[in-house]
A and B are shown apart, each in its own frame.
Chain A
Amino acid sequence: MKSVITITHPCEVFCSFTMSAATKLHKTSWCALRQLQQYRTKANFSASSSSIAKRNELFNQEQKRQRDAVGRIDKIEVRYLGLPEDVTLVMNANISTPYNCAQHLSEGHKRRSALALIDGSVPWDMHRPLQESCTLQLLHFQVSEPHVVNKAFWRTCSFMLGAALNRAFKPEANLQLHSFPGPNIKSGSFVHDIVLQTRNWQPTKEEMRTVSAEMVKLALEDHEIERLDVTQDIAQEIFKDSKYKSEQLPSIAQQTHGRVTLYRLGDHIDISRGPMVGATRFLGKCTISAAHKVADEGETDGFYRIQGVALPSGIQLNHVAFGVLEERSKKLNPARLPNEPFEEHQQLQLS
């Protein structure tokens, strides 16, 4: 069978990053980025580039509208708790983000903070404007209680996997992103469910490695992850050319009082409840390990579940131990399958 993935040039995979299957992210170097950019082509985007441009345009418009709607600027007091000392920052309501607070603290806070914790309990994206006076803690992956930030990281990995798949597949594969289930670290893998116009795709090692390389490229490019709450109508407009997203939107909006949370990374937009980590550079070691055929869809298509395992940058793990994790991440993830009804599962979770 002909490959549906544009296999990355071998020298790109091997020389730029690593010699092993476990694509390890080295320290971002401008040189590496320059090397990567010559291989990037817009042509291998699976969804047509015009529809991506349209989505981004709508996203930008709505983002601008929301920024303009702030009007008179109110001041809020943000009480920062943590190292080097507790301080009170006077910030702008609905404009300043935890990232801006980190900018006031130090370069290190800015670089290291992956997620913010508001009032000691509410996880808050680094680039989401603060609404009222609150206390603020900045989290990274080595805090003593990293559950919240780990979960956000796992969710971000699923989201990034969507973007990487979008880049990797050729247009003739007719890739459509379906959704990704909530993060479950204990299952050993993060997941993205997709629909392909083929029923017997059996990915080769090179194809999986190419997707892993795309993930590493995303991390090297260091995209900021933006969050935007929109109404259901705008979300429908943005995802009007995506069959599965339009189907999911009503039930999502119903749970969240008509608001839908969108996330953007580069030019890739997806629906997610959040929170996510602040930027793609937090992805360290990453391997996309398996693609499982889940079910048939329609006349010609099939549901596939793509799985992988990743570690945050800054966490070192030797390759033998990481190999064990890679092996485990190949097993089919037990999360809700894309062909199972969404509402039923929600009720199961609530009960």
Chain B
Amino acid sequence: MNQADVSKLMSQLRIAIRPRHRNLKNKDGPEGRLLKLRKTVTALVKHERIELFYNRADEARGYAELLISNAIRHGDTHNATMEMADYWLLEKQLVHKLFKVLVPRYENYTVSYTRMFNAPRTYPGIYYKNSVLELRGNPYPSLIVDQSQNKNLLHNVLLDEARKEYRRKKLAELAQ
């Protein structure tokens, strides 16, 4: 009864997180891995869309989501959040971007703040999968085509005609 609701104590992320982190093989060990991820999170906040190997992108995505989520929950007056932002963002001007640009942008979002796509592998290239990681609401043109807007696609032609026929039927009923 007196138990605290866990989901209110910590940020609930809107993406699927793997049960265990990836080690992301690095000669400097865990510190090297974290530095790699900090660089990635910094680049993501800076450029808003980056292309990189899938593993690294997926790993960094979780940290970026958590950072933005905490920034929205606690604001810029919360010590722990500020420390976290200071740790993950290597370029310090991006801390301002996080609280002044990204927090207002994502305040009312009901979906995740980042988005990931599979990207093509070059042939013959190296084995690793490629991906694109981006912040939602970025200023670049969309990577996926919005199919609902193209009236000429087969399903849209069919639906359009069905709608017209329905209206004709209703009008005929009204005229009676």
Q: Which A residues have a C-beta under 8 Å from some C-beta of B?
A: 141-142, 144-147, 150, 153, 185-188, 309, 311-312, 315, 317, 321, 324-325, 328
Q: Are B161 and A186 in contact (CB under 8 A)?
A: yes
In the assembled complex, the Cα of A188 lies from the Cα of B155 at a distance in Å of: 10
Q: A142-B145, A142-B147, A145-B152 are in contact. Are A325 and B159 (CB under 8 A)?
A: yes
Q: How large is the interface on B (under 10, 10 to 19, 20 to 34, 35 or more residues)?
A: 10 to 19
Q: What is the chain B residue whose CB lies nearest that of A329?
A: B158
Residues of B within 8 A of A312 (CB): 154
Q: Are A325 and B162 in contact (CB under 8 A)?
A: yes
Q: A324-B159, A325-B159, A328-B165 are in contact. Are A185 and B152 (CB under 8 A)?
A: no
Residues of B within 8 A of A142 (CB): 145, 147, 150, 153
> Could you name 23 residue pairs across A and B whose Cβ atoms are closer than 8 Å?
A141-B153, A142-B150, A144-B152, A145-B152, A146-B153, A146-B154, A147-B152, A150-B154, A153-B154, A185-B158, A185-B161, A188-B158, A188-B162, A315-B147, A315-B155, A317-B155, A321-B155, A321-B159, A324-B159, A325-B155, A325-B158, A328-B161, A328-B162
Residues of B within 8 A of A328 (CB): 158, 161-162, 165
Tell yes or no: B84 within 8 A of A by CB: no
Q: Are A188 and B161 in contact (CB under 8 A)?
A: yes
Given contact pairs A146-B153, A146-B154, A325-B158, enumerate 11 new A-B contacts (beta carbons under 8 Å). Answer: A141-B154, A142-B147, A144-B150, A145-B152, A146-B152, A185-B158, A185-B161, A188-B161, A188-B162, A315-B155, A324-B159
Q: How far is the CB of A309 from chain B (nearest CB, A)?
A: 7
Number of A-B contacts (CB under 8 A): 50
Q: Which B residues have a C-beta under 8 Å from some C-beta of A?
A: 145, 147, 150, 152-155, 157-159, 161-162, 165
Q: What is the chain B residue whose CB lies nearest that of A189?
A: B158
Q: Are B150 and A185 in contact (CB under 8 A)?
A: no
Q: A142-B145, A142-B147, A328-B165 are in contact. Are A315 and B159 (CB under 8 A)?
A: no
Q: Are A324 and B154 in contact (CB under 8 A)?
A: no
Q: What is the chain A residue whose CB lies nearest that of B153?
A: A146
In the assembled complex, the Cα of A324 lies from the Cα of B158 at a distance in Å of: 10
In the assembled complex, the Cα of A147 lies from the Cα of B161 at a distance in Å of: 15
The 4 A-B pairs at the shortest CB distance, nearest first, are namely A150-B154, A186-B161, A328-B162, A317-B155
Query: Of residues B152, B154, B157, which shows the largest number of chain A Cβ atoms within 10 Å of its Cβ?
Result: B154
Residues of B within 8 A of A325 (CB): 155, 158-159, 162
Q: Are B162 and A315 in contact (CB under 8 A)?
A: no
Query: Of residues B145, B157, B158, B161, which shows the largest number of chain A Cβ atoms within 10 Å of its Cβ?
Result: B158
Q: Are A150 and B157 in contact (CB under 8 A)?
A: yes
Residues of A within 8 A of B145 (CB): 142
Q: Are B155 and A185 in contact (CB under 8 A)?
A: no
Residues of A within 8 A of B153 (CB): 141-142, 146, 150, 315
Q: What is the chain A residue whose CB lies nearest that of B150?
A: A144
Residues of A within 8 A of B147 (CB): 142, 315
Q: How far is the CB of B151 from chain A (nearest CB, A)?
A: 10
Q: How far is the CB of B128 from chain A (nearest CB, A)?
A: 18
Residues of B within 8 A of A187 (CB): 161
Q: How far is the CB of B144 from chain A (nearest CB, A)?
A: 11
Q: What is the chain B residue whose CB lies nearest that of A311?
A: B155
Q: What is the chain A residue whose CB lies nearest that of B147?
A: A142
Q: Are B162 and A185 in contact (CB under 8 A)?
A: no
Residues of B within 8 A of A186 (CB): 157, 161
Q: How far is the CB of A31 from chain B (nearest CB, A)?
A: 24
Residues of B within 8 A of A311 (CB): 154-155
In the assembled complex, the Cα of A321 lies from the Cα of B152 at a distance in Å of: 17
Q: How far is the CB of A334 from chain B (nearest CB, A)?
A: 12
Q: Are A324 and B150 in contact (CB under 8 A)?
A: no
Residues of A within 8 A of B162 (CB): 188, 324-325, 328
In the assembled complex, the Cα of A325 lies from the Cα of B152 at a distance in Å of: 16
Q: How far is the CB of B167 from chain A (nearest CB, A)?
A: 13
Residues of B within 8 A of A141 (CB): 153-154
Residues of A within 8 A of B158 (CB): 185, 188, 309, 325, 328
Residues of A within 8 A of B152 (CB): 144-147, 150
Q: What is the chain A residue whose CB lies nearest that of B161?
A: A186
